[in-house]
Structure 1
Amino acid sequence: MAKTTAKSSATKPAKGKDARKAATPPAEKTKAAPAKAPTAKATTEKAPTGKAAAANAPAAKTAATPAKAARSSKPAPTAAPTAPTAAAKPAPVGKPAPAKSTKSDAASGTAAARAAPTAVTSAAGPSKATKAPAATKSVAASPGKPPKQMTPAAKRGATKERPETMTTSSAAKPAEKPWLKSYPSVVPPEIGPLPAEAIGELLVNACRKYTGQPAFTCMGKSLSYSDMERLSSAFGAWLQAKGLAKGARVAIMMPNVLQYPVVMMGVMRAGLTVVNVNPLYTPRELEHQLKDSGAEAIVILENFAATLQACVAKTNVKHVVVASMGDMLGTVKGAIVNLVVRRVKKMVPAWSLPGHVSFNAAMKEGAARTCKPAQVASDDVAFLQYTGGTTGVSKGATLLHRNVLANVAQNVLWLESAFIKKPRPPHMVYVCPLPLYHIYALTVNALTGMHLGAQNILIPNPRDIPGFVKELQQYPINVFPGLNTLFNALLNNSEFAKVDFKPLLLTFGGGMAVQRPVAERWKKLTGCVVSEGYGLSETSPVATANRFDADEFSGTIGLPIPSTEIAIRDEDGKDLPIGEVGEICIRGPQVMAGYWNRPDETAKVMAADGFFKSGDMGFMDDKGYIKIVDRKKDMILVSGFNVYPNELEEVVAQHPGVLEVAAIGVPDEHSGEVPKLFVVKKDPNLTAEALHEYCRQNLTGYKRPRHIEFRTDLPKTNVGKILRRELRG
């Protein structure tokens, strides 16, 4: 589960049966509680169509997650739960049949819902302006598709149900929702109708609403919303001309360049599915993802084309589009950038992909065609977000249009707390140092940002701190998502202090625990509190968030966002009392449909009552704030990216000189954790240098071990299972 997680550390509990398995993140060992604040009664407000999103996220080798801050307020009484549905078993996901609802259905049955504000339901029920159809069914409780009898209008106005059979304790029933008493008065407990039937529709509506305003800026070049509509239409038309059937998978393997949002939006408009790919993947990793997803097309930056060359023949890919850094920067600037990238910095290894099409050629061909409106329903698959697997192979989290659209609506509502103390800017400006191929930046920056008419400043390489600071000095940044290592690096750059921080409204922290000293330095310099939140690829991603009007860094992952329930459960699936550590389980409309073509893996993480088992251990306090204390699985968190020991061990075990191997995470001051290998040699002449070189050839940079220790044997159970916990000491 690739987490867009702001993990805070705490004392390792005596209870929590799985806590002993996980490495406690290096951080302070105190139980941080959110700061108290004057209470205020919650009110129902129309969610303006122009609000930004709570978030979380990771990034190109650096990741980040949501962010929020902590305060408490007195809520209005919660509405009675809607009628329960039968507990649903996880449905197999993959190669879904075409949805029965069509665009014409949406046009006739949901026009009123679309015209309504995106989220206005209060504890007392939906307002007249946005009241959902009376026959609305739940879209949150089941990981499968919604009931077939639901109309698109019903699905878009759906609210969650509470199954009567759910096991709860008297101390912490999810139905009690203790977090609502800590909600900002401007945020309702539930979202209203979804802002659109499909993501393509959402983005086209934004382009037509904000027309000449800047949407994305990269390396000094901006694309307006009208540019985005025109260019995405051209690319969508090119895809349709290739005969790709509805729902066909299109992989995108690019960093934060202008081509990414154009291609992503074009894929959505063509009625296809995006498969996001990390550009730093090795051929082995790329091959697995392309084969597993069944991708038929890929759009790739030429810098990484050699990787595709090494594996494309083993996949189902039929159409290859190759872009270059300078494609969308203008004729003169584009030529200069391409020359520098190719010849001066030598960032483009030699490659050969017979039959490929250049990005510019595809755009020219598509511009001469018309992108036909796609028949897309809200329960069609929008994205396959690959996340690490405990079995050593990554799995595709299947995100339906309604999952992601719900998270956009949730984020829009939660942003309202940012304007309690600070005025709303007329035009929001986001900085985007986190990669758009990651679910956090994708949902929070690209999708929510466009829905709000915001400008996203794309940073192709956030590790170039001097270059990043120069970009920050040029724009009035309102929203800043990042992670601890990025914040720390910026704070240690002397030029960063010269940035004008007056426009800064929000700083999101996630991907790894934000260290309190870093958060305190950040607030002292910028005047902005670092807010943290929590989410995963499987939750589209935001699940919890701190309030944006907080005065201090909280050290928690915040409160469940609207229409989201969090249950803390033991290994038997029973709800635990307030303050007791257990597994964090999540239910809401943003929870995925399941893992692509892996019903067995889906069944492991989805409870019968619709709760997703995160695998993270934490507790909830009496105000509803949640704190992560440990990780149930052995996952290693490197700068916000998930690294799974099983995958490392499987790769290293294939080296002819290795007899046995085990991987764990160890603390690192720069990235939070790094992988460490314990190796038993088969070849007595095997060296650490040789293993490091082998890993460079087979593993992405953040997955590579930083430490290798040779041993004569490894600790094992009586059945031969390696005991990683003993290696941690």
Structure 2
Amino acid sequence: MVNIYHLFHRNVEKSPDKVAVVFSGTEVTYRSLFNYVLILSRFFKEQGLTPGQRIALFAPNGIEYPVVLLAAAKLGLAVVPLPITLKGAALEIALKKTPVSMAICWPTVSRTLLESAVVREDEVITIGESVLGERCWEDIFTDVEHDEEYSDAAPELDFILTMTSGSTGSPKPIVLSQKCKIERAFSATINYYQLTSDDVILVATPLYHSLAQRGVLMPLMLGATTVILPKFQLQSWLGAIEQYQVSFLFAVSSQLEGLVAQGVENKDISSVRILVSSSAVLNTVTKGKLLKLLSCEFHECYGASEVGVVTDFCIDDEGGNQGSVGKPLPFVDVKICDSHRKPVEIGIVGEIACKTTTQFSGYLKQLEATKAAYDDTGYFYTGDLGYLSKDGFLFYVGRKKEVISSGGINIYPQDIEEVIKRHPLVTDCVAFGVADPTLGEVIKVVYEQANVQQEESLERALRKLCFAELTDYQQPRIIEKCDNLARNAMGKVLRQQVKETYS
């Protein structure tokens, strides 16, 4: 059966001199990338790695990612991508949850791992200069000996292990097989958006995230070109679109909010045919402004790491479903259930459950947790709340654990945040419940102001806005300004951290 490496190899044979990957101005052809993959594959075999074993990858965005992922796909190895900023207990927990046979690391991580004896010196490869005598990534490629081109790795083997809970606390490693990644690449992206080998795909989010990995692997399976940026910076992002004639990209909501705030800066982005927003629901004001800025198809998708993309919504300036995240993809079934996992009526909020061909293999060594995530009919319970309209559109409300219970009434933070974000000086906000002896919880909103130099509080204006738009039990009791809301590397607000800091 075909694996990811086989699909890539076909494109090497078909178009060896075509640009496969662009990074920091360097263009790497399919032939050159293939040579890197074969050299690394041979090295892994010489180190005794066998199908099913794991490699930790602590690296910033760069050419290392596609080389490691493709070599692992060829040999049937699994990759555990982790951020280079992971430190202390979180780093040890991550590697204890997913024991690895080798770690490819940024120098700061190599030093931490070696000094704490989490891994042995012969199990560490450092990208850059050696810190404590271990082998370097660059040294591997001084040897021109290649592995054989043949691969018999089963696509059902574990391929990528990604962490839930931000790799802190008690993470649940999500296991994704090559078969799953192929299905997500073709069914949820290539076929759905009708991509071809002529497309150029831009990746500007951290490659330890699943969405960015798809942005790299999917073009290489298709025979297209992927452009990787070291990190998101609006000017370089717009510049890359113009320079490389990018035609398709996934963008996270924070990037698009930055685009709205700063504009296209006289860059030509007319090459973009399709843009898909992911990671967090955009507010209606931002969507309206983006429609005026963009001349391409503009989509918003909803999904989860365990199941991939669930719904898609092609946003335009017409129609009555602008608050929706769209309809289920052709291979996905969605239902809304109550706390007893019984389906609720149309328009009633409940937990979003879905059945799909792009589901994960399970949580690593957590059979009970995996089993508990499904019902007897094979639907996965996402932990997200939403409702379906009578014409089949899904409306996302928020996470189950984020619901505020005040006076016996369930209140959804997103309803409040949607209103607060309409103020032109509010860049983002988080609504959450704080303990109250009478009502159980009352609502607090922490907001980030666009001009932090401005001393004047927006509290009065925001209360007026809430009074006009929200019902009595949705009114915030406390409204507080902060300089910066905590965010992850994708620019997504860390809601739980904000709640812990300001509650």
Matched, 1:432 2:203: yes
Which of 1, 6, 9 matches 1:204?
9
1:466 to 1:665, Cα distance in 2 relative to 1, 3 A = farther
Q: Secondary structure at the match of 2:401?
A: coil
Residues 615-626 of structure 1: matches in 2 within 5 Å? 615-626=383-394
Deviates more, 1:385-394 or 1:407-416: 385-394
1:292 to 1:199, Cα distance in 2 relative to 1, 3 A = same
| Counterpart for residue 243 of structure 2 | 474
Task: Please tell me the root mean square deviation across aligned C-alpha atoms, in Å.
Answer: 3.4
Whole-angstrom distance in 2 between the partners of 1:580 and 1:249: 44
Matched, 1:352 2:131: yes
Whole-angstrom distance in 1 between the partners of 2:333 and 2:167: 25
Matched, 1:483 2:252: yes
Say if 1:237 and 1:270, in contact at 8 Å, map to a contact too. Answer: no
1:602 to 1:709, Cα distance in 2 relative to 1, 3 A = closer
1:277 to 1:497, Cα distance in 2 relative to 1, 3 A = same
| Counterpart for residue 462 of structure 2 | none
CA shift, 1:599, in A, is 1.4
Say if 1:476 and 1:500, in contact at 8 Å, map to a contact too. Answer: no
| Counterpart for residue 472 of structure 2 | none
Which of 385, 388, 394 matches 2:162?
385
Say if 2:20 and 2:28, in contact at 8 Å, map to a contact too. Answer: yes
Whole-angstrom distance in 2 between the partners of 1:492 and 1:577: 39
| Counterpart for residue 278 of structure 1 | 83
| Counterpart for residue 399 of structure 1 | 176
Whole-angstrom distance in 1 between the partners of 2:343 and 2:161: 31
| Counterpart for residue 520 of structure 1 | 288
1:613 to 1:701, Cα distance in 2 relative to 1, 3 A = closer
The size of the alignment, in residue pairs, is 428
Residues 86-165 of structure 1: matches in 2 within 5 Å? 106=1
TM-score, L = length of structure 1: 0.54
Instruction: Tell me the alpha carbon deviations over residues 16-73 of structure 1, each in whole angstroms, 9 at most, x when there is no partner.
Output: xxxxxxxxxxxxxxxxxxxxxxxxxxxxxxxxxxxxxxxxxxxxxxxxxxxxxxxxxx
Which of 218, 240, 245 matches 2:23?
218
Which of 524, 543, 546 matches 2:313?
546
| Counterpart for residue 533 of structure 1 | 301
Instruction: Tell me the alpha carbon deviations over residues 259-315 of structure 1, each in whole angstroms, 9 at most, x when there is no partner.
Output: 21111111111221111112221232222112211111111233544443454x135
Partner AA of 1:359 in structure 2? W
CA shift, 1:665, in A, is 9.5
| Counterpart for residue 127 of structure 2 | 323
Matched, 1:265 2:265: no
Which of 443, 452, 461 matches 2:231?
461
| Counterpart for residue 579 of structure 1 | 347
CA shift, 1:595, in A, is 0.3
| Counterpart for residue 294 of structure 1 | 99
Q: Secondary structure at the match of 2:382?
A: strand
After TM superposition, the runs of 4+ consecutive aligned structure 1 residues lying more than 6 A away are: 548-553, 707-710
Whole-angstrom distance in 2 between the partners of 1:439 and 1:202: 19
Which of 612, 628, 631 matches 2:396?
628
Q: Secondary structure at the match of 2:268?
A: coil
Say if 2:159 and 2:178, in contact at 8 Å, map to a contact too. Answer: yes
Which of 173, 177, 191 matches 1:413?
191
Structure 2 gap segments, 5+ residues each: 404-412, 415-429, 433-442, 451-485
Partner AA of 1:545 in structure 2? D
Whole-angstrom distance in 2 between the partners of 1:550 and 1:227: 45
Which of 126, 129, 141 matches 1:363?
141
CA shift, 1:374, in A, is 4.0
Deviates more, 1:284-293 or 1:200-209: 200-209
Q: Secondary structure at the match of 1:573?
A: coil
Say if 1:586 and 1:611, in contact at 8 Å, map to a contact too. Answer: yes
Q: Secondary structure at the match of 1:314?
A: coil
Q: Secondary structure at the match of 2:290?
A: helix
Say if 2:205 and 2:231, in contact at 8 Å, map to a contact too. Answer: no
CA shift, 1:426, in A, is 6.9
Partner AA of 2:185 in structure 1? V
Partner AA of 1:408 in structure 2? A
| Counterpart for residue 360 of structure 2 | 592
Say if 2:66 and 2:217, in contact at 8 Å, map to a contact too. Answer: no
Whole-angstrom distance in 1 between the partners of 2:70 and 2:448: 38
Q: Secondary structure at the match of 1:498?
A: coil
TM-score, L = length of structure 2: 0.76
Structure 1 gap segments, 5+ residues each: 1-105, 107-196, 325-347, 417-423, 638-642, 646-663, 672-694, 711-726
| Counterpart for residue 34 of structure 2 | 229
Q: Secondary structure at the match of 1:247?
A: coil
1:383 to 1:465, Cα distance in 2 relative to 1, 3 A = same
Q: Secondary structure at the match of 1:395?
A: coil
Say if 2:315 and 2:322, in contact at 8 Å, map to a contact too. Answer: no
1:670 to 1:265, Cα distance in 2 relative to 1, 3 A = farther
Residues 615-694 of structure 1: matches in 2 within 5 Å? 615-634=383-402, 667-669=446-448
Which of 331, 340, 348 matches 1:563?
331
1:375 to 1:451, Cα distance in 2 relative to 1, 3 A = closer
1:277 to 1:574, Cα distance in 2 relative to 1, 3 A = same
Instruction: Tell me the alpha carbon deviations over residues 201-224 of structure 1, each in whole angstroms, 9 at most, x when there is no partner.
Output: 222223323322211111100111
Say if 1:322 and 1:358, in contact at 8 Å, map to a contact too. Answer: yes
Say if 2:297 and 2:314, in contact at 8 Å, map to a contact too. Answer: no
CA shift, 1:536, in A, is 1.6
Deviates more, 1:290-299 or 1:515-524: 515-524
